Amino acid sequence: MPTFTGETGARIRDLEARLAAVETAPGGGANPSGDGLFSAFPNTLIWAQPNVVTFLRMDTEQYDLSNWFDTVTGRFRPQLAGYYRLTASVFVQSQMSTDLTYLALLMFKNGSLDKSLHQLNTQGPLGDNLLSGSLIVKANGTTDYFQPGVRQNSAVEKQTGYGSTGGNHFQGELIAPS
């Protein structure tokens, strides 16, 4: 193999180092080991409070290959720096309310709003609704955590779905280490 010097040599060595880092990263860059792969849902009823954010505490795991999801807090805390795809959904029952005109599914990073995943606004009352969305987030691999929440504007609390088929879920996967 020829030896490259100067700027070309430096570029080739840099590319070789990057390739080696991807090949030796957990999951080999394609994540066959399932780092960060989880799916959770609430097995207990969650009541969405009026005019405040209600965090959706998913207390039951369907799977959690890295053990980075906490069922006590409902938070996902990735332990590998990288980019993650997160998906959440919430089913909110109207209970025949005539004042429910706004619903939002939100994603929080470290307790602060990161993104609005799905919003519904209407002039008249909303019926039962399933809100869902996904996003790509960057996590530092140590202190960052993520949790979905819901906000609604009714004068009373609203029941959300629960159980593995109740419409509420929170899922994630590593898509690229950083």
Q: Pick 100 or 144 by higher pLDDT.
A: 144
Q: Pick 110 or 119 by higher pLDDT.
A: 110
pTM summary value:
0.78
Q: Please give the Cα distance from 116 to 152 (Å, whole number).
A: 13
What average pLDDT does this structure show over 15-21? 60
What average pLDDT does this structure show over 132-160? 91
Number of domains in the chain: 2
Residue 159 CB burial class (10 angstroms; 0-12, 13-18, ≥19): middle
CATH number for the domain that contains residue 79: 2.60.120.40
pLDDT of residue 97: 64
Q: Provide the residue type at 45 as one letter.
A: L
Checking if the pLDDT of 24 tops 90, the result is no
Residue 127: count other Cβ atoms within 10 Å of its Cβ: 12
Do 95 and 16 sit in the same domain of this protein?
Answer: no
Do 76 and 153 sit in the same domain of this protein?
Answer: yes
Q: Please give the Cα distance from 9 to 178 (Å, whole number).
A: 24
Instruction: Check residue 163 and report its DSSP letter.
Output: S
Do 19 and 73 sit in the same domain of this protein?
Answer: no
Q: Pick 139 or 6 by higher pLDDT.
A: 139
What average pLDDT does this structure show over 39-53? 89
Backbone angles phi, psi at 26, to 5 degrees: -55, 130
Banded pLDDT at 135 (limits 50, 70, 90): very high
> Where do runs of H (alpha helix) occur along 106-158?
none
Do 7 and 81 sit in the same domain of this protein?
Answer: no
Do 7 and 63 sit in the same domain of this protein?
Answer: no
Residue 63: count other Cβ atoms within 10 Å of its Cβ: 11
Average pLDDT, the chain: 83
**Strand partners of residue 105:** 118, 150
Helix, strand or coil, per DSSP, at residue 28? helix
From 15-24, 75-84, 146-155, 169-178, the region with the lowest mean pLDDT = 15-24
Q: How remote is the C-alpha of 95 from its chain's centroid?
A: 28
Banded pLDDT at 27 (limits 50, 70, 90): very low
Query: In this structure, what token pair is assigned to residue 3?
Result: 């030896």
Supply the range of the domain harboring residue 5.
Answer: 1-28
Residue found under tokens 């799905």: 118
Give the distance between the most distant pair of CA atoms in the chain: 76
Do 53 and 24 sit in the same domain of this protein?
Answer: no
Do 62 and 89 sit in the same domain of this protein?
Answer: yes
Size (the chain), residues: 178
What average pLDDT does this structure show over 61-80? 95
